[in-house]
Homo-oligomer: A and B are copies of this chain.
Amino acid sequence: MSGGLAADLPGLDLVVDPDVLDSLSHDDAEWAPAGRPVGAVRARTTEEVSLVVAACAARGIPVVARGAGTGLSGGANAVDGGLILDLTRMNKILRIDPDNMIAVVQPGVVNDDLKAAVAAHGLWYPPDPASAPWSTIGGNVATNAGGLCCLKYGVTRDYVLGLQAVVGGPAGTYGTAVRLGHRTTKGVAGYDLVSLFVGAEGTLGVVTEVTLRLRPARAAAPRTVVGAFPSIVAAGDAVAATTRRGLLPAALELLDRACLQAVEEWKHLGLSATAEALLLAQIDTPGESGQAEADALAQVFRDAGAQWAEQSTDEFEAEALFAARRLAYPAMERLGPVLTEDVCVPRSAVPAMLASIEEIAARHGVTIATIAHAGDGNLHPLMRTPVGDDAAREAAQAAFEEILAAAIALDGTVTGEHGVGLLKRRGMRQELAPPVLAMMQAVKQTLDPRNLFNPGKVTGDPD
């Protein structure tokens, strides 16, 4: 780290070891370029974050905040000459308030740790990205993370009532800590800056505290309904039919055969992979109504051509199936560099989008495995290429861009929940009209006039 900056920050936990610095310089997005930072700071308090931001502003050093680094778009990747601000040490749950069903947490709290802590009070924090065992609330807020149960329960933004953030620009000098939003369930005093910061990937300021809405714990374990399909498009048909039938499962996930095999080879969960695609659904409506919904959903699966469809009566089997879903991404990653898509299309367009992915994969000779929050229309085609095979890499890159274009053509978006980061900047420019991009750039410019916070991400120019 430059001696000057280090001298500005006495008593802070500075990282200079090159190997550690390297590990802090990128997230989990393969192929996203990472710059060379001047150093990293492991902040412990909001005051330390303020000091760091003020010192960096004075020296014109960009600040890239990060949590666990499980992001999949390069949003937390270092920029050349910038400082990494590691917030994983800010991992305290500051308050759980059962009377008001809220929690106040530091950004480094791991999602699953929060879930466990509030469960002890009979409460539930629904957002559940597959990375929940490792990813932090700060990272979830930065990307507006989704997960399995957003079909019924919404995404991270739906749970953020208030934020503390260290900002610059119109709020005063860089390093000013502000509180945005409220601690009440409703509030309309001024513009919704909280929703603006959620999903902004740290480009508008550094979030140092989050006030979260909670829900009462679910009364009983959800019912799991599983369907096995002879083709991935048939599974897509079942997804579209589920919505059409008025059914709203808590989760409706799709795994194709390649994903199932990758998990089975790694974890030996006893999954059979005779089908081309599985749909996994959770119904959490309690009592007889829940049973009726589960029966109706199994029938929808059968009507759409399922080889079989039934409610899992075995809790261990149900858990194994959802564990397989959560492990699909790391299981694929074990086998080589993975390029991950995150397109989202209207639910009725899921069959067309799945067909399009198959066609693009075949035409480019690329192996694509697909997992999906199918009920949300949010698909994660995973492209795997052998290490060092440049031709395969180029083919995968071409397929990646074509899948984005196909999603946009179906009234969809290039990113449902992973964020723009570095990898989706080009796709975002295809999706958004130039005036809309100009509005976003104007907001960035006015709230961060010195372009200090995570420069180049989201609204920055693609390479």
Contact = CB atoms under 8 A, between A and B. Distances in A.
Nearest to A201: B188
Interface in A406-453: 411-420, 424, 427-428, 431-433, 435-447
Interface string A268-301: 0000000000000000011111000000000000
A151 interface: yes
A176 interface: yes
A169 interface: yes
Nearest to A444: B191
Interface in A162-206: 167, 169-172, 176, 178-180, 182-193, 195-196, 198-200
A257 interface: no
Contacts of A286: 285, 287, 289
A364 interface: no
A189 B414 contact: yes
Contacts of A447: 439, 442-443
A412 B176 contact: no
Contacts of A419: 188
Contacts of A215: 248
A435 B178 contact: yes
Nearest to A198: B192
A217 interface: yes
Contacts of A412: 182-184
B243 A184 contact: no
A200 B193 CA distance: 11
A387 interface: no
Nearest to A173: B435
A100 B347 contact: yes
A428 B191 CA distance: 11
A178 B99 contact: no
Given A424-B189, A440-B193, A176 B435 contact: yes
A155 interface: yes
A240 interface: yes
B439 A244 contact: no
A190 B438 contact: no
A190 B440 contact: yes
Contact of A240 (B99, B155, B438): B99
A143 B413 CA distance: 27
A337 to B, nearest CB: 23
> How many chain copies does the complex carry?
2
A347 B244 contact: no
Interface residues of A, number: 98
Nearest to A200: B191
Nearest to A246: B216
Nearest to A122: B246
A249 to B, nearest CB: 11
A35 to B, nearest CB: 22
A458 interface: yes
A70 interface: no
Given A289-B286, A439-B169, A189 B348 contact: no
A344 interface: yes
A192 B196 contact: yes
Contacts of A150: 185-186
B101 A169 contact: no
B433 A189 contact: no
Given A186-B155, A199-B192, A180 B289 contact: no
Given A100-B243, A193-B436, 19 more contacts: A99-B240, A99-B244, A144-B188, A170-B442, A179-B436, A180-B436, A183-B411, A184-B411, A184-B413, A185-B377, A186-B413, A186-B417, A189-B432, A190-B436, A193-B439, A195-B195, A216-B247, A442-B446, A443-B446
9 contacts: A97-B348, A99-B243, A179-B436, A184-B416, A189-B420, A189-B431, A286-B287, A287-B287, A446-B446
Interface of A: 97-102, 122-123, 143-144, 146, 150-151, 154-155, 157-158, 167, 169-172, 176, 178-180, 182-193, 195-196, 198-200, 215-217, 219, 240, 243-244, 246-248, 285-289, 344-348, 373, 376-378, 411-420, 424, 427-428, 431-433, 435-447, 458-459
